[in-house]
């Protein structure tokens, strides 16, 4: 199945939001 | 529309997603080298009480990428991964939504859209007149007009299929847009500083005048973090019009009996609409609704910066000066003259808006 880059970007950002929201990922440095 | 197939099926000896690993690592290494260089120069200046110019990691990442691609070149093993710069750009923009309250998006996006409408009309009229004056083919004129009025390479790729243009015309148009995008990275910040533009006004100008989203994001970030934020918002508002403009051109070429028939206009608009804009709006809505704590907002904003870091390395790595000069001179002349005129007109538009609307 081919998914456009746009949807991959939205999907990846969604996963990141869930990880941060649930506290599984925290303290990302810059 | 460009598509990637990761995670893909294991049809070859290795799963396809493995092929993106080397290039993605290269993006990360070059981007990180840019960040380390910026920090090292700042630390050196501080340690020796020197006032050194603060050259942002953005520029270092682009320059390092340019040096690699124009000296040793990008070896084949890295190319698939380097192409993921587009994914990092779009993921970075979606996550950037966390730095905008929805009200700001509506307000600034609305003002940007008004400027976009004006820019769009001017760019299309100008490119069409110049293309005709230089005797370019009608479809190349359409591609250059679409590329300069909306969003560079993505718009040209979207339009190429819709108006049934030649590969050669599309590569000419893309080369012209990319060449000018690369130049804008260095010229726009200098003009912005010389005119003492505010972050908001400069960001809006870049978002309106620089055609490719990656270059617009980089040119904005080169000025300041806040300018980069506004550049992305203005450019995103511009990107949102892609379906309408491409549809208009597609219908025009159908009437000339040289394009593909469009059965369902709504489906066509949805197909061409940049979906990552929806992700940006959803995250902005979540932060507006108080869905994140301050530390979560900081984490998401930092992740957005990391994603852009890889994007900027990709901007340098995919720019090959020799390839750009191989293209014919006429499309490039039309591109240069047209883009300079568009940059000048949008600058005037933004300066007026800055005075009137106190941007």
| Per-residue pLDDT tens over the stretch B106-121 | 777 677 778 888 888 8
The answer as to whether B14 is a domain residue is no
Element (H, E) at A7: helix A5-21
Mean pLDDT of B123-129: 89
Residue B99's nearest CA partner among B305, B316, B328 is B305
Contacts of B296 in chain A (CB under 8 A): 20-21, 26
Q: What is the pLDDT of residue B4?
A: 40
Mind telling me how many Å the CA of B345 is from chain A's nearest CA? 31
The answer as to whether B19 is a domain residue is no
pLDDT for residue A1 is more than 80? no
Average pLDDT, chain A: 92
Quick check: B303 and A16 CB within 8 A? yes
Mind telling me how many Å the CA of A10 is from chain B's nearest CA? 5
The answer as to whether B345 is a domain residue is yes
Quick check: B306 and A28 CB within 8 A? yes
Mind telling me how many Å the CA of A15 is from chain B's nearest CA? 11
Residue B91 has its nearest CB partner, among A12, A25, A30, at: A12
Of the given ranges (B69-78, B145-154, B219-228, B347-356), which has the lowest mean pLDDT?
B145-154
Mean pLDDT of B181-206: 91
The answer as to whether B59 is a domain residue is no
Of the given ranges (B29-38, B95-104, B306-315), which has the lowest mean pLDDT?
B95-104
A4: phi then psi, degrees, rounded to nearest 5: -70, 160
The answer as to whether B188 is a domain residue is yes
pLDDT for residue B20 is more than 50? yes
Q: Which of residues 1-30 of A touch B (CB under 8 A)?
A: 2-10, 12-14, 16-17, 20-21, 25-30
* Parent domain of B267: 87-357
The rounded radius of gyration (Å) of the Cα atoms in chain B is 20
B238: phi then psi, degrees, rounded to nearest 5: -65, -40
The answer as to whether B317 is a domain residue is yes
Q: What is the pLDDT of residue B297?
A: 95
Q: What is the pLDDT of residue B25?
A: 97
The answer as to whether B284 is a domain residue is yes
The answer as to whether B57 is a domain residue is no
Please state the domain count of chain B.
1
pLDDT for residue B10 is more than 50? no
Which of B275, B284, B291 has the most A C-beta neighbours within 10 Å, making it the best mutation to test the interface with A? B275
């Amino acid at each position: 199945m081919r998914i456009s880059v746009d949807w991959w970007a939205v999907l990846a950002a969604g996963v990141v939001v869930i990880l941060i929201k649930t506290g599984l990922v925290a303290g990302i440095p810059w | 529309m460009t598509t990637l197939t990761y995670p893909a099926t294991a049809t070859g000896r290795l799963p396809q997603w493995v092929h993106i690993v080397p290039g993605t690592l290269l993006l990360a290494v070059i981007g990180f080298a840019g960040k380390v260089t910026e920090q090292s120069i700042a630390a050196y200046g501080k340690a020796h009480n020197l006032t050194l110019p603060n050259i942002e990691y953005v520029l270092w990442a682009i320059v390092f990428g340019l040096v690699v691609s124009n000296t040793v070149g990008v070896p084949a093993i890295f190319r698939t991964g380097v192409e993921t710069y587009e994914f990092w750009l779009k993921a970075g923009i979606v996550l950037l939504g966390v730095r905008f309250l929805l009200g700001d998006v509506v307000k600034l996006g609305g003002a940007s859209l008004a400027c976009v409408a004006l820019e769009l009309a001017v760019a299309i009229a100008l490119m069409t007149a110049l293309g005709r004056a230089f005797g370019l083919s009608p479809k190349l004129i359409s591609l250059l007009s679409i590329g300069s009025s909306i969003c560079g390479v993505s718009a040209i790729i979207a339009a190429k299929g819709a108006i049934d243009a030649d590969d050669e015309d599309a590569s000419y148009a893309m080369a012209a847009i990319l060449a000018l995008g690369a130049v804008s990275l260095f010229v726009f910040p200098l003009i912005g500083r010389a005119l003492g533009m505010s972050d908001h006004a400069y960001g809006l100008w870049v978002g309106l005048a620089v055609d490719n989203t990656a270059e617009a994001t980089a040119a904005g970030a080169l000025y300041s973090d806040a300018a980069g934020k506004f550049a992305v918002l203005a450019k995103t508002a511009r990107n949102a019009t892609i379906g309408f403009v491409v549809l208009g051109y597609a219908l025009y070429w159908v009437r000339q009996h040289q394009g593909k028939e469009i059965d369902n206009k709504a489906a066509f608009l949805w197909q061409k609409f940049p979906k990552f804009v929806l992700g940006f709006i959803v995250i902005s809505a979540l932060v507006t609704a108080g869905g994140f704590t301050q530390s979560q907002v900081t984490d998401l904003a930092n992740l957005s910066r990391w994603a852009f870091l890889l994007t900027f390395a990709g901007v340098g790595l995919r720019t090959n000066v020799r390839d750009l000069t191989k293209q014919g001179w006429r499309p490039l002349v039309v591109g240069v003259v047209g883009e300079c005129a568009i940059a000048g007109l949008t600058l005037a538009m933004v300066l007026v808006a800055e005075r009137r609307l106190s941007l």
